[in-house]
Amino acid sequence: MKTAHLIACHECDLVHQLGEVPPGGAARCARCGSPLYRPKRDSINRTLALTMTGLLLFIIANTNPFLGFKIGAQIRETILATGIYQLYQQDMRMIATLVLFTVVIVPALSLVSMLYILVPLQMKMVPRHLARVFRLLGFLKPWGMLEIFMLGILVSAVKLGKMATIIPGVALFAFLALIFVQAAMAVTLDSHLIWEQLDRHQ
Are residues 19 and 93 part of one domain? no
**What pLDDT does residue 72 have?**
67
Q: Residue 1: pLDDT above 70? A: no
Whether the pLDDT of residue 202 is over 60: the answer is no
Q: Quick one: 4 and 34 in the same domain?
A: yes
CB atoms within 10 A of CB 92: 14
For the cut 50, the answer to whether the pLDDT of residue 3 exceeds it is no
Higher pLDDT, 24 or 31: 31
Q: Are residues 162 and 184 in the same domain?
A: yes
* Same domain (yes/no): 60, 139: yes
Q: Which pLDDT band holds residue 2 (cuts at 50, 70, 90)? A: very low
Confirm if 26 and 38 have CB atoms less than 8 A apart: yes
Report which secondary-structure segment, H or E, holds 81.
helix 80-89
Torsion over CA: 50, 52, 55, 59 (sign): negative
Helix crossing, 106-122 with 43-63: angle to 10°? 150
72 and 18 in a common domain: no
If asked whether residues 156 and 191 sit together in one domain, one would say: yes
Its pTM stands at 0.79
Give the pLDDT mean for 94-103.
Answer: 88
Which amino acid, residue 14? L
- Which residues pair with residue 75 across a beta bridge? 70
* pLDDT tens column, 115-146: 999 999 988 888 888 889 999 998 988 888 78
Same domain assignment for residues 10 and 107: no
Does one domain contain both 131 and 112? Answer: yes
Considering only residues 163 and 47, tell me which one the structure prediction assigns the higher pLDDT.
Answer: 47
Instruction: Please tell me the total count of domains within the chain.
Output: 2
Q: What is the pLDDT of residues 30-77, one digit of tens each?
A: 888 787 777 788 889 999 999 999 999 999 999 998 877 776 667 777
Name the region of 143 (left: φ>0; alpha: ψ -120 to 50; beta: rest).
alpha
Residues 188, 151 share a domain: yes
CATH code assigned at 121: 1.20.140
d(CA 144, CA 178): 12
Task: Let me know whether 118 and 168 are in one domain.
Answer: yes
Same domain for 30 and 49, yes or no, is no
CA distances for 16 relative to 4, 30, 39, 115, angstroms = 11, 8, 16, 31
For the CA atoms of 13, 40, 18, 191, what is the dihedral angle to 10 degrees? -60
Same domain, 4 and 91: no
Q: What confidence tens digit (pLDDT) does each residue in 165-200 have? A: 777 888 889 999 999 999 999 889 988 788 777 766
Q: How many CB atoms lie within 10 A of CB 120?
A: 15
In angstroms, the CA 137 to CA 189 distance is: 12
Domain that holds residue 179: 40-200
Q: What is the pLDDT of residue 200?
A: 64
**Higher pLDDT among residues 83 and 45, named by residue:** 45
Rounded Cα–Cα distance for residues 122 and 144 (Å): 25
